[in-house]
Every structure is written in structure tokens, then in C-alpha cells.
Amino acid sequence: MKTISHRSTIRRASGIAALALTMSVGLAACSDDSSSEDGASDSSGGSSESSPSEDTSSDAGSSETTDGAMTESAVFGDACGQIPTDGAGSLEGMTVDPVATAASNNPLLSQLVGAVGLVPGLADQLNSAEGLTVFAPFNGAFEAVPADVMSSLTADPEGALAPVLSYHVVPERLEPDEVAGEHETLNGAMLTVEGDAEQGVTSGSTGTEATVLCGGIQTANATVYVIDSVMLPPA
């Protein structure tokens, strides 16, 4: 797993190295297996998943939601082009559903959806919240977690996994021009975010750091920043 300072930072990456270790976590019941486009490839033989490749095509187009949410052109990050261009998992399609459901339709986030599904009630809590900011590790981030660490987390979903997942969620909606700063997470620990869509953004603490691969994604009740690492909260 990557190391970072006690402060966290989320920034746009133009190329992330392939992540090697594999973790097997089943999809949550809410996941939609119909979305299997080119964002993330599932493997059964321990093969690693590469981080999304550079694609700036997401900078084009602007489809505004009926709620007046940010347009598709407002998302940033080289991996935004790996998100489906139509259907429930697309940038436009995700605006219709609350965040846990929207994530289940995005092929970059199937490992995260599976992890959330292991924690009783967490998906419902996320879906019912009025406004959230979610730093969502893409599939390769979970695959990079050492197997023994992942096993210890999944063996105790409520006591060990839930605090890690809730550290990735801020209970208010922060758009790209608001996300920099120090924020209290659902975990109760503070998360420091530095940078912006132009300068790059990073976040994390206690030896873990994450970089934003695609930020400013809108769902019905959250703004999502897809990141390249699983961040561990302070002990």
C-alpha cells in the first residue's frame, strides 16, 4: 500500500502504476452486473488490475441534471474517460441514484461495493444520507491491499472494515472547488484534502495516501472522487 503523510492529498494523476495484489470480495446485493465495460477487468487467477488509463475525453460534453447539479464537463481526472458513456453507470446515469446504488453500476467500483455490502446497514446509511462526499477507491486499490490486512478487515466487518470505509466519507457534499481543507469523516477522524481540479488533489493519514483518478462525479445525494488507494484512518 502507498505511504503518505499524516495529511491527506487528492490530486489528478496522469498515469498510475499497475497494482498487483488481488482481493476477492463479492459484490453487494445492490450491484448491477450488467455494467462491465472497459473501466475495470475482473480476474479469477490472481492477475492484477491496472489503474484506469489516461483519457481526457470526459472533458467534453455537458449534461445537466434536473436538480441543477454540476454538468458532466465539470468532472476532472484522466480516468473519467473509463466511466461508461451511457446507462446507469455513466456520469449522467449516476446522477439519478443515491451513492451506494450509483456505485454498484460503475465498473470501476465493484470491489468497493462488495466491501460496503459486508457491513450490515452501511449501504442503506449511505443511500439515505442527505448529502455526502465519498472518496471511492477503485478496484485496483483494494487489490493492492496486502492479503493479510484485507483478511483481517473482512473477518470483522463491523469492528474493522466499517471504520476504514467510513473514513472515506465526509457527511457533507463538497464540490471540487470546496473539497480542499480539513474535514471530519463518518469515522469521526479528520481527513485533510489538498489541491484542486487544476493543481491536483490528495488525501489520507497515518501512512496512507490517495490520488484522485476522477473527481466531481455526481450522484443523487453525493459527490464522488474515485481514488487510487484505500486510506487507513488514524488508530
The mean pLDDT of 91-104, rounded to a whole number, is 96
In a domain, 126, yes or no: yes
Mean pLDDT of the chain: 76
Expressed as residue numbers, the domain containing 130 is 71-227
Give the model's pLDDT for residue 203: 76
Going from the C-alpha of 39 to that of each of 43, 81, 110, 177, 226, the distances in angstroms are: 13, 9, 10, 26, 12
Contact 230/149 with Cβ under 8 angstroms?
Answer: no
CA gyration radius, the chain: 16
Angle at the Cα of 43 from the Cα atoms of 203 and 100, rounded to 5 degrees? 45
3-state secondary structure of 161: helix
Total number of domains constituting the chain: 1
Q: What pLDDT, in 10s, does the model give residues 16-64? A: 322 222 233 333 333 344 333 443 334 333 333 445 544 433 333 333 3
In a domain, 232, yes or no: no
Give the model's pLDDT for residue 234: 84
Instruction: Give the domain CATH number at 214.
Output: 2.30.180.10
pLDDT of 15 higher than 80? no
In a domain, 155, yes or no: yes
Give the model's pLDDT for residue 195: 84
Contact 203/231 with Cβ under 8 angstroms?
Answer: yes
CA–CA gap between residue 181 and residue 203 (Å, rounded)? 10
Q: What pLDDT, in 10s, does the model give residues 134-153? A: 999 999 999 999 999 999 99
The mean pLDDT of 179-191, rounded to a whole number, is 94
In a domain, 65, yes or no: no
pLDDT of 112 higher than 70? yes
pLDDT of 94 higher than 70? yes
Q: Which residue has the higher pLDDT, 158 or 15?
A: 158
**Contacts from 127-131 at CB under 8 Å and sequence distance 24+?**
127/98, 127/99, 127/100, 127/101, 127/221, 128/98, 129/98, 129/99, 129/171, 129/221, 129/222, 130/221, 131/171, 131/172, 131/173, 131/221, 131/222
In a domain, 3, yes or no: no
Is residue 196 very low, low, confident or very high in pLDDT (cuts 50, 70, 90)? Answer: confident
Give the model's pLDDT for residue 43: 37
In a domain, 104, yes or no: yes
What's at 80, amino acid-wise? C
Give the model's pLDDT for residue 87: 93
